[in-house]
């Protein structure tokens, strides 16, 4: 049952990536490429500062090995394909789309490198080699994005309709899988202890703060990067977590997603109130 749920989660994320491609134009894709300073800050936040903060957490806290592995996988799995269309509009939509696409492309190279560096330090054992990880990420994310963008170029109006429906359906499937996975293995979360759960929440707060500080110059983009940093790339995390023996790593990844949602809601309300007051 757990394996079926993990497959459904990965397929749903691939469909979400396809939907993002169906919603994107070439101008959206290259938005950040035409703004190198903003691109550098965004990637620095996602792929350097947050993994380093996770390493700091592991230096300060003594956590079970399964939690360490899950935290490291989440830290290096940057990108935010789970951002719904409405949430993308919190920031400049072209910025958010470009950020999702660009960070997914960068993940093909950076995630395997991070995993290979961390493997000897934290006994990070997976059944996948760095090349396997890179190929899986490329097939799961780059392929659907390219296909989606080509379909949009050929059938623009139909693509918009399909994208909206895919986002809705996949969101429901993901939520259902998360609920069932926690129902089956929720006891694992109690076994890891409060320090582990607090570490997940602390990483969420740190990710929000990093994205908020390095986002911008627009205030909307600042909010968007903060949410993108906190969300992480569940598809990449699940690909790697599925290669780790046992369900614990996958369950902790799911628990982080819930923590990220809980922590992000008050932040989003604060940002929306601030934007309304400024308006």
Query: What's the pTM value of the predicted model, to 2 decimals?
Result: 0.80
- Whether the Cβ atoms of residue 202 and residue 256 lie closer than 8 Å to each other: no
Residue 154, pLDDT score: 86
The CATH number assigned to the domain with range 2-278 reads 1.20.1530.20
Determine the Cα–Cα distance for residues 99 and 40; give it in Å rounded to an integer.
11
With a cut of 70, list the residues of the chain below it in pLDDT. 2, 79-92, 122-128, 185-186, 188-193, 235, 238-248, 278-279
Residue 41, pLDDT score: 93
Instruction: Provide, rounded to the nearest whole percent, the portion of the chain with pLDDT above 90.
Output: 6
Determine the Cα–Cα distance for residues 151 and 239; give it in Å rounded to an integer.
26
Determine the Cα–Cα distance for residues 34 and 181; give it in Å rounded to an integer.
41
Residues 6 or more apart whose Cβ sits within 8 Å of residue 247:
2, 181, 184, 185, 188
Name the residue ranges covered by the structural domains of the chain. 2-278
Determine the Cα–Cα distance for residues 53 and 273; give it in Å rounded to an integer.
29
DSSP secondary structure letters along 107-144:
HHHHHHHHHHHHHHHHT---S--HHHHHHHHIIIIIHH
Token readout for 242 is 């599925």
Determine the Cα–Cα distance for residues 239 and 194; give it in Å rounded to an integer.
26
Determine the Cα–Cα distance for residues 196 and 194; give it in Å rounded to an integer.
5
Local structure of 232: helix, strand or coil: coil
Determine the Cα–Cα distance for residues 226 and 201; give it in Å rounded to an integer.
15
């Amino acid at each position: 049952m757990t394996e079926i749920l993990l497959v459904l989660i990965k397929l749903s994320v691939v469909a979400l990536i396809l939907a993002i491609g169906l919603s994107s134009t070439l101008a959206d894709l290259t938005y950040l490429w035409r703004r190198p300073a903003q691109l550098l800050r965004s990637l620095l936040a996602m792929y350097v500062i947050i993994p380093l903060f996770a390493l700091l957490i592991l230096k300060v806290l003594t956590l079970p090995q399964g939690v360490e592995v899950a935290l490291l996988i989440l830290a290096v799995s940057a990108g935010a394909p789970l951002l719904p269309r409405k949430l993308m509009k919190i920031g400049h939509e072209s910025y958010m789309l470009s950020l999702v696409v660009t960070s997914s492309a960068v993940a093909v190279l950076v995630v395997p490198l991070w995993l290979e560096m961390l493997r000897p330090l934290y006994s990070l054992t997976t059944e996948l080699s760095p090349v396997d990880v890179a190929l899986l990420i490329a097939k799961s994310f780059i392929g659907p994005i390219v296909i989606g963008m080509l379909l949009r170029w050929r059938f623009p109006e139909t693509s918009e309709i399909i994208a909206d429906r895919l986002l809705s359906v996949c969101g429901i499937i993901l939520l259902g899988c998360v609920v069932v996975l926690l129902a089956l293995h929720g006891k694992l979360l109690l076994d890891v202890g409060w320090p582990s759960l607090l570490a997940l929440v602390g990483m969420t707060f740190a990710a929000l703060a990093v994205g908020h500080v390095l986002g911008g110059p627009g205030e909307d983009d600042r909010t968007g990067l903060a949410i993108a940093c906190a969300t992480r790339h569940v598809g990449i995390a699940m690909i790697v977590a599925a290669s780790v023996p046992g369900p614990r790593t996958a369950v902790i990844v799911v628990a982080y997603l819930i923590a990220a949602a809980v922590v992000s809601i008050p932040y989003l309300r604060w940002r929306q109130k601030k934007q309304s007051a400024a308006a």
